[in-house]
Each structure stands twice: as structure tokens, then as C-alpha cells.
Amino acid sequence: MRNRKFLFVHLLIVPVIAVALACVPALSAEAPHAMVVSESAQATQAGLEILKKGGNAIDAACATALALGVTNAASCGLGGGGFMLIYVARQGKFFALDFRETAPKAASADMYLRNGRPDEKLALLGPLAVGVPGQVAGIAAALERFGTMKFQQVAAPAIKLARDGFPLSHLLAGEIKWSQKYIAANPEFAKTFLEHDGSAPPEGTIIREPELARTLEMLGDRPDEKFYHGEIAREIASYIRKSGGIMTADDLADYRALWREPLHRAYQGTEVYVMPPPSSGGVLLEMLGMLEPGHLPGLGLNSPPYLARLAEVMRQGFIDRALYADPAFVHVPLDVLLSAKHIDEARNRALHHDRTSRMIPEAHDHGTSNLCVVDKDGNVVALTTTINTIFGSKMMVPKLGIVLNNEMDDFAVAPNVPNVYRLQGAKANEIAPGKRPLSSMTPIIVVRRGRPVMTTGGSGGPTILTGVLQVTLNILDFHLEPEQAVSTPRIHEQASPDMIFVEAAIPASTRDALSEMGYKLKVVPHLGAVAAITIEPGNLHGAFDPRKGGGAAGY
């Protein structure tokens, strides 16, 4: 259990350890027409290249996501999935695309029980941890409905990066070093990411992924057909089955990305649009609702009273998060959870919570990347993509160069057994064949008087929710520029474990004041990573998070 607790704290902060002391380029960029922000400078340039060639925000978002799967291979890629929130300017409408992974047909609620006891490692490492990937289906669906380019056009920058190589970032170098023993156990994996002597390569080493480049080329311009049927599907299924897994070619053939109706709610003169379940977007709306009448600027940004209020609101949100799950399997009572009555009651509990008697709720992603794109026509995309923890299941498919997710850990492994993020498994989120696990990924787009004014999203497991919340408040309530908004120190409270995670950059006097209020604190170097773009006519301002690094660029 001690090691498990260490892993939880490590996973909250590991994506940023690598860049904490590194020299990074300017965190923000301004441009009059279009903007791309992501967690990789090379991926951002891939998206910008597509925009300059006439592609729209959807084309550029897909190109950026594919490039992230190369340069941030520990975080995302073809073996994962995610969510895409889209605003189409010519229609003035929002669209939500769910390409979250699904449980294989042979999966069951008790699949991780061994001798009557849950073995949660099986949901984290190896073939039983892998959910059916949705990334390719999501990109194909987005391009088919709203794109202006073919798949091979938007994949071209990623193919070039994978084939010709890219300099290893401080971030990925750290993640390879942390995962070295797992990578070394897989020859294909080791050939790609380790030195000839088996050591972890230093920052700046040129990394090439030729197998992944060939796979991207094999996908042609009908990537959903090529990936989920035929040679690629057979290769993935065969590797997983030979390794002891349960996923089959039929699981891949039956996968579908889903278009869903976005959720939205008014906040401080704006309308905030989010992903619906199985995303936790509704939880963010509930938190904003609890905070709306709070006159937050009067409390002072990151003052002890302000942080205490945030912590209690976060706590109430995570308690309600236990009711969220795949809506195809579980009724999520959004009409109740987002009602004025429920939000008023939750706000009252947050304001009058007795800290001497903390409830523990039944309530999950960390190898994750986020990107935001705005194009010259006013289209906006916020996309979050993941393979869950660092390098997912620690498996790479031979010949294909695809790193497989370990998204099954985002389900409830067993009743009252916490996952790697210490979030306890709720009945609503138990494993079932074809089901999509609950996710903390929360891309958002904010509108004022019918026009988008900002977009943001993050990575970092459950800290995505609280990070996106704080950056949104920093921009809307405290009127910070994006660079300040994403750089300002943050906290995180998820009800279980019984503590507030506090970034070390928050002054000791503030931490002492919170302790005196009765809060138990855990000081950590950093919490997750959030990117943001603010949108004004002729003035786009984007910023990536210095905690993880990345790129912001426009024209």
C-alpha cells in the first residue's frame, strides 16, 4: 500500500518534473487569425502547418493530436482515445465527439479478482489493462464530418516526425527513464526508446519511430476501416491475445466513435460548454455553479479564504462524480446534478462543511495530452487524448509501433478499491463489456454573447478537473492573461484521500493559514498541466503550461 500511495502522488506530478528546471520557450503567443496550443512544440507546429495550408481547426486539431502521439508517446497515441469539443462557426453550434476506449466483450466486473481478492496491478500493467482504442475512429469521424482535408494530409507532419526523428524533450526523457524497466522488457519498445546498451537516452537524443510512421501511412485515407479491420486489427488482437489478454479482432471491428450532445451552463455572463458523460464535464459545471455568486475577486486570488472555498467546492464536485459513468449503461441524473436546487444545496454544504468529519466518497487518466485550436473562420476545437498512465499498459505492438493504453484502470476495479489515482470505484463505473470508463478529461469552450471567448483543457488525471476550473476562474473572474492564468499556482482536492494537494509555489504563509483552518495538506512540486486560448476579434492569445512544456503558435 505504501508503494501504491507513492505512485499516486508521483502520477499527479510526474509530467512536469521533467521540465521543472528546463529552459522553455515563451509560454504564450499572440496572433490575429489562428492559434494552436499543445503539450509539444513540434505538435503545435504540425497543427499550424495544416492551418497555413488552408485546413480548418478540425484538420489542425487532428494533425496536432497525431503528432502528439509521436512526440509525447508516453501520454497519447493511436493506442488510446479521448474527447473532442468542437464549435463550428458557420452553424454557431457545438458538437461533442466521444472516442473514449471501451471494455472488450470478454471483460467483466470481477475480471481482476484473484482468489477472491482484487489484483489492481492487472488493470495497470499488461494485456488485461488494455481497452479497445478509439483514437483513430475519433479522428476519422471528425474529419469526415467537419474536416476539409484527407487523413494522409493531416497525418503528414506526424509521419515525418516519426520517420525522420525529433529531439527528445525533457518531458519524454524523464518519462522514459521512469518507465525504463518496462520498456526494456519489450524488444520493439526498447529499440525505439532506449539506447543500444539499454540505458535511457538523454534529452536532445533524436528519436525515430519508423514502425509508427509505416502504420500511419498504412491507414490511408480511410483510417477507421484500415485500423479496425484487416491487417492492423489482426496484428493488435493477435499480440494482445498471445500476451494473455482478452481483446479480439471483433472488439476492434465493433468500435464506434460517438457524437454526443454537449452540456452547458451559464457562468458570470458567459455560457460554458463541456463534454457530457463519460467525461466529468458536468462536474466542472457544478463546481462553477457553486462558485458563481461567491464574489471571488473580493476574496483575493489564491488567498487562504479563496483556496478554502475552492477546496470545499472541489470536494463536493468529486462526491457527485461518483454518479457519473457511461450513459449507455447507467442513468446519470444530470437533470438533478445540474439543477439550481442541487447546486444550491451543494454550495451550502461546501460553505458550512464540518472539517472534523470528512466524508469519503465513492468516486479517474494521466498519460494524457491536451490541445486547443482556433482558426481564421472562428472554428474552435478543444481536444484531450490519453493512454491513461505513463506509456499506458507498458506494451507496444510489434511491427506497428503502437503503445497500448491501460484505460481499464479508469473503471472501478472492484468495490471500494481505489485506482491508481486513489479514486474509489463506484458501482456506476464498474466494468461491463463494451462500456466506456469514466474520465477526468474536461475540454471546454466558453461563449459570451454567442461568440467563443476562451477554450481550455488539461492533462493530469483527476487534477484535470481542478486545473481547468482554476484556469477558467483566473481568466473569467480575475481577468488574467492566458500565460498568467495557466502559470498561477494551483491546489487539488478530490475528497479521497482526506487532504488538499498544494503546489510548492503557494507561499508558506498561505499553507500555514489553511492548516490552521483544519485542512490536511500535501505539498507537491506541481499539479497537472493546462493550456488555454483567449479569443477576441483579431486577437488570439494562447499559452501552454510551464509545468509540462509545449508550444503555442499562430499567424
Query: Catalytic site residues?
Result: 368
- Residues 6+ positions from 494 with CB-CB distance below 8 Å: 314, 315, 318, 363, 421, 422, 423, 462, 466
CB 83, CB 100: distance < 8 Å = yes
Task: Give CA separation, 543 vs 3, 379, 529, in Å.
Answer: 35, 18, 11
Spatial distance between the Cα atoms of 84 and 540, rounded to a whole number of angstroms = 20
Helices assigned H by DSSP within 277-404? 281-291, 296-299, 304-320, 334-337, 340-351
Query: If you search the block for the grid coordinates 484500415, which residue do you land on?
Result: 226
DSSP E strand stretches across 89-174 = 93-99, 113-114, 117-118, 166-167
7-26 burial, b at 16+ Cβ within 10 Å, e below that, comes to: bbeebbbbbbbbbbeeeeee
Triad 286, 288, 293: Cα angle to 5°: 115
Cell numbers for 306: 479563496
551 vs 49: CA distance, rounded Å: 13
In 110-150, which ranges are continuous DSSP H helix?
A: 135-146
Q: Which long-range contacts (CB under 8 A, 24 or more apart) does 185-190 make?
A: 185/394, 186/394, 186/395, 186/396, 187/398, 188/396, 188/397, 188/398, 188/399, 188/401, 189/394, 189/395, 189/396, 189/403
The CA distance from 394 to 179, in Å, is 8
CA angle 27, 476, 548 (to 5 degrees): 30
Non-local CB neighbours of 185 within 8 Å, separated by 6+ positions: 394
DSSP character string of 189-248: HHHHHS-TTSPPPPTT-EE--HHHHHHHHHTTT-HHHHHHSHHHHHHHHHHHHHTT----
